[in-house]
Structure 1
Amino acid sequence: MKRLYISAVAMLLISSIYAQNKDTKDADKLFDRLEYVDAAQSYTKLVEKGKADAYVYKQLGDCYYNVFNTKEAVRWYAKAVESSQDSEVYYRYAQMLKAEGNMQESNKQMAHFVKLQPNDPRSKAFTNNPNVLTQLKQQSKLYNIKKSDVSSDKADFGAQLTSNNELYFSSARNTSRKKNGMDDQPYLDIYKATRNADGSLSQAIEVGELNTKWHDGPVAITSDGSTMYYGSESFNQSEFQKDKSKHLKYGQIYLYKATKGAGDKWTNSKALPINSKEYSMRNPSISKDGKTLYFSSDMPGGMGGEDIWKVSVDGDSYGTPENLGNEVNSVDNESFPFITDDNLLFFSSNGRQGFGGYDVFIYNPTTKETKNVGSPVNTEKDDFSFSYNKEKKVGFFSSNREGNDDIYQADPICGV
């Protein structure tokens, strides 16, 4: 769910869309709608009928890459690269092999990527330090971790603990909601739980006044608890783009602002003026003084896929978004920024060398140092959306290391 929420725009189907060819028409239609589970099934039928080629194998690999089914992604990418492929296929194949723990074959595919794209920053990083994983495993442990009892059997991520002990996060646990076609889970809603004095968490409840029929969350709360920033979809504003050739409406993820009202309810929700139908803005984090809003976006002017940006805040006025540059961002995706009270920035990246999948990094703007936070927070799977409450000395992050996006608690060692 997290991988999809990072990389894919929202969309509405109007009618049938253009297909690659007559054999792949149905599967391509599902893939273009981001319905990867059903698309994979449709492409697999072509394999069973003997109608598969390198394109079908690549599409199957991409389907499973997008839902982080590493085993199946490896299976189909292996068949795809039996024929010549675009360089990104080799890179994705290498990442899936790494997530499966097959470093020897992963390095082999990365070497092929390097040959095709020698000037790509990812190629240079690999060439300069192909054994980075050994070094990362030797780092001192920064956190003890445990799976949070707030996790469900559906996707849960983006947890943030407020000053008044409320833990907000996004979840697909509401099975009464319509399922999205990306991974066959319900649409995301915003939830909150209360953290008790002993560190346990109450049963999570929906933040019903904010949830829509689209994806909602994650959120950021100001230090005084009075203001929330959160993500939702541009369809709420009846704003989208049309692709006439594919007969689709493409929406984006917008940032919204709400204020705490009577009865602890969030009111006056409104879309930020810096949103655009041209790109998504999501995963907000607000500085302690409330004057700088961090977020991730694929807006023009970035380093690659999705980048970390910041913008000045003055009441309801916002400055010009500023990209954090290559000290944070790469040619791939950086997302889920979280700015601490002492101005350290946690973020997730799949474009920097790490354990595999998305890793959590920490950036110190004073020293200009970016560091992988290491094990056990990071694994060969997707690890992301790290937040840290300095006052209460506790962090939260999510990981799909057990096959599902779950929330974990991180307790610092030696005063992190």
Structure 2
Amino acid sequence: MRKRGILLIACVLFLCSAPALYAQQAKLKKAHKYMELLDYKSAADLYMRILEDHDVPEAKINLAEAYRKLNDYTNAEYWYQQAVYLPEAKPIHYYYLGLMKQRNGKCEEAQEWYSRFLTLKPYDVRKPQLQKACDYIDQLLVKSATATTTEPLELNSPFDDLGAAFYRDGLVFGTFRSPNGSAQQYLDLYFAVMTPDSSNSKGFVLGTPEKFAPQLNTPVHEAIVTFSRDETELFFTRNYIVEDESSRETVMRLEILHAQQAGPDSWDKPQTLPFCSPRFSVAHPCLSPDGRRLFFASDMPGGFGGKDLYVSFRDSAAWGPPVNLGPNVNTEGDELFPYYAEGQGLYFASDGLFGLGGQDIYFAPELDAGEWDAAQNMGYPINSSYDDFGLIVHTDGTYGFFTSNRAGGAGEDDLYYFRKTNIDTRSRTQLRVVDAATGRPVAGAGLASSCEESLVFTDADGNYATLLERGRCCTVRVEVDNFEPYTLTICAGEQQEIHIVAIPEQTPIRPKILTLNGMVSDLANGAPLQGAVVTLVANGCSAPAPAITDAAGAFSLELQPHCCYALRAEKGNYFARILPDTICTDNWGEAAQSNLNLYLQPFVAAAATVNNSQQTGGDFAMGIRTDHHNDTIPFLLNLYYDLNRSSIRAESVPELLKLLQLLTDNPKLIIEISSHTDSRGSDEYNLQLSQRRADAIVNWLTSKGIPAYRLKARGYGEGRPVNKCEDGVPCSEEQYQMNRRTEFKVLGSSE
């Protein structure tokens, strides 16, 4: 009877609490919807009402996020301080708590939370800045403080004004103003003429803004526009409402539209670009001056974080598939508002890198073959403790515009003008002196230049560089002991390499014989390897014939003095080993020989290495063999995925780069990339998820130049556990973790 009474009381309590729980869940769902629609103020108010009645960890964390998005750093700090002690706290919340303390002037406290974050995420890309956060912020505050001036534009309204673009003799931008000066519910495109005025601090004045291309503006948001160089075509961002495929709720998406000029002040009906989709947003277009590349932001699947930057290439009239700009640009946060400066690189806004505010403006120099150098923070006064984004630069490189919601503006988002005040008109000029006979650089070569007051010398790499005013030229005489003198003319901006001829010596010096001895062993068991081939590639001199190791794994090679070599060791069924550093005999001093031990990683199990234990020691840990039809060894990839996601996270890139290097060093190998899940979840879902994850790795490798025929993606789902944790078997989280893994193994060779 007593047991029955207890059950009756429990049922009554459940029935009484169910309506309250349902109401709470409904409020949480509505608050999440506000967050998705970027209405952070409404979301924060609703989360506060939830927390007045219930202690809900999810609401605390999201309330901190909402206040951070609102730049309310005081309240954001308070709620992140609550969030980090919750079981649901993630490492990123430690970072954001430090960030909010930094914004609130508590630098030493912020450093403590950055350190805790780095303990949990030791390979985070922001680690160099976070280790000395206070010093780094001080550097950003003085970086361009005396070299750049900024001021708000007089056309700013009490409403949002954002995303300026150069057009004809003025600016096109997005605004919430209406023609009569009042507010409206959506962004429209407006145009303001720039008239030269030497009496103005900017050198121009802006006319009264008027609606731009009325046929393009509709009762939804239109903003962020880019024009072709001849201004006959444009691309812009527009929003629309669509039903989400998974939740069946309406969500807002962004798309990019393209229009051709139809007349002097009119445009054809805009068309959506082919890579737009109702499943994700595509926004913030920037057309390269040559019209062949379109940069944009998107949260499409397969990126590094929330929103990434992509580029599409135009071939004839068709746009190709989007290409992610990679980890030097994209982070686990949001990258937005790209602007490409011809011959320089890409400006963009990001909240995923450590900087002064929420969104900071960065610059990534463009390298060869579509690669980008590491992004650099523009520093103060371009960046502030608020959101700064949408920077554009005039073609002369001296001034431009950006958007900011910093204090002191006319509205929420305002347009700002900036000008560089100490532009260097000098060009870097470089001369390299090389020995004509050997091709080696000549260090310490004396240079008597008509542009220098005294004798100057080349550095250890044979280089001498200086800054010359544009248009200036210098006569230089090169003098080096035991070489014939050389005279040349070099002008500003040039890079010249000259080859000087050595004066023949009367008595030839017999070269010293130098020997490199070594041993090659099996990394798995330490046994010497017979028949391994050791090859040297010489730089500027002749290389000896390859050596083959004897029964003791030993080899010997004869080297030349004053020469550097790259070394490669290889053997069948082993990964080739290429030494990362060159071997230079000049570093041996007076020694006539040097010894070297090399270890090769097997990818086929020999009798001494066949077992089911994980082994380490190489670049990749050996996995546990679950396929006993062959002796191929699986290797573990230390990769991270978001829950139920297949996209590769930014912290996984170092591991993928190691695999990329291994495939580059072994260009004939064909490998299988396999992904496995634990037994939780349905068989079909786990099989599909693992296949998507394997496909994502193969796609990343092919994007880096590895031929597709060398890569096989295979998702095994829960079908190949390494322990007894199958369906219906209770296991610990550690046992489940062993089965959640990504591996690769060698399938064969293309030879």
| C-alpha separation in 2, matches of 1:258 and 1:211 | 13
- Indicate yes or no: 2:191 matched with 1:192: yes
Give how far 1:167 is off.
0.7
Structure 2 counterpart of 1:55: 58
Question: Aligned residue for 1:284?
Answer: 285
- How far, CA to CA, are the matches of 1:52 and 1:103 in structure 2? 30
How far apart, CA to CA, are the structure 1 residues paired with 2:268 and 2:378? 37
Q: Give 1:59-208 correspondences, 5 Å limit.
A: 59-84=62-87, 85-123=89-127, 125-127=129-131, 131-141=135-145, 142-162=147-167, 164-174=168-178, 186-198=185-197, 199-207=204-212, 208=214
Paired residues of 1:95 and 1:357 also in contact (CA < 8 A): no
1:351 shift after superposition: 1.6
* Secondary structure in structure 1 of the residue aligned to 2:280: coil
Q: Which residue of 2 aligns with 1:227?
A: 233
**Alpha carbons of 1:200 and 1:298: their partners in 2 closer, same or farther (altered >3 Å)?**
same
DSSP 3-state at the match of 1:252: strand
Distance in 1 between residues matched to 2:235 and 2:259, nearest whole Å? 7
Q: CA deviation at 1:324?
A: 1.6
Return the letter of the residue paired with 1:103.
C
2:101–2:109: 8 Å Cα contact kept in structure 1? yes
State the distance in 1 between where 2:419 and 2:70 align: 29
The whole-number CA distance in structure 2 between the counterparts of 1:149 and 1:380 is: 22
Rounded to whole Å, the distance in 2 between the matches of 1:76 and 1:271 is 41
The aligned length equals 386
| Aligned amino acid, residue 195 of structure 1 | M
Which residue is equivalent to 2:333?
Answer: 332
What SS does structure 2 have at the residue aligned with 1:285? strand
Q: Structure 2 vs 1, CA of residues 241 and 23 (structure 1 numbering), >3 Å: closer, same or farther?
A: closer
- The CA RMSD measured in Å over matched residues stands at 2.9
2:414 to 403, 406, 410: 406
2:310–2:323 CA contact under 8 A, matched in 1: yes
Greater CA drift, 311-320 or 248-257: 311-320
2:257 corresponds to which residue? 256
Measured in 1, the distance between the counterparts of 2:78 and 2:216 equals 41
Deviation of residue 219 (structure 1)?
A: 0.6
1:213 Cα shift? 2.5
Higher relative contact order (CA 8 A, sep 6+): 1
Structure 2 equivalent of residue 4 of structure 1: none
**For 2:270, what is the secondary structure of its paired residue?**
strand
Residue of structure 2 equivalent to 1:5: none
- Structure 1 residue identity aligned to 2:420: P
User: Where in structure 2 are there 5+ consecutive unaligned residues?
Assistant: 1-19, 198-203, 425-751
Please tell me whether residue 415 in structure 1 is matched to residue 420 in structure 2.
no
Q: Answer yes or no: is the 8 Å Cα contact 1:240–1:252 preserved in 2.
A: no
The residue that corresponds to 2:506 in the other structure is none
| Local SS of the residue matching 1:137 | helix
Kindly state the Cα deviation for residue 92 of structure 1 after the two structures are TM-superposed: 2.7
Matches within 5 A, 1:301-380: 301-314=302-315, 316-366=317-367, 368=373, 370-380=375-385
Structure 2 counterpart SS, 1:114: helix
Counterpart CA distance in 2 for 1:322 and 1:243 is 26
- Residue segments in structure 1 that go unaligned for 5+ positions in a row: 1-18, 180-184
Note the C-alpha offset of 1:156: 1.7
1:7 is matched with none
The 1:335–1:64 alpha-carbon spacing in structure 2 relative to 1, beyond 3 Å, is same
Q: Give the stretch that moved more between structures: 58-67 or 406-415.
A: 58-67
Q: 1:355 to 1:318 in 2, by over 3 A?
A: same
1:381 aligns with 2:383: no
Compared CA separation, residues 264 and 280, structure 1 to 2 (3 A): same
**Cα deviation code 1:223-245 (max 9, x no counterpart):** 1111111111244xxx553344x
**TM-superposition CA deviations, 1:299-353 (whole Å, max 9, x none):** 2332222222111124531112222212222222211110123343111111222
Q: Distance between the aligned counterparts of 2:77 and 2:346, measured in 1?
A: 33
- Tell me if structure 2 keeps the 8 A contact 1:292–1:313: yes
Is the contact made by 1:118 and 1:124 (CA closer than 8 Å) also made in structure 2? no
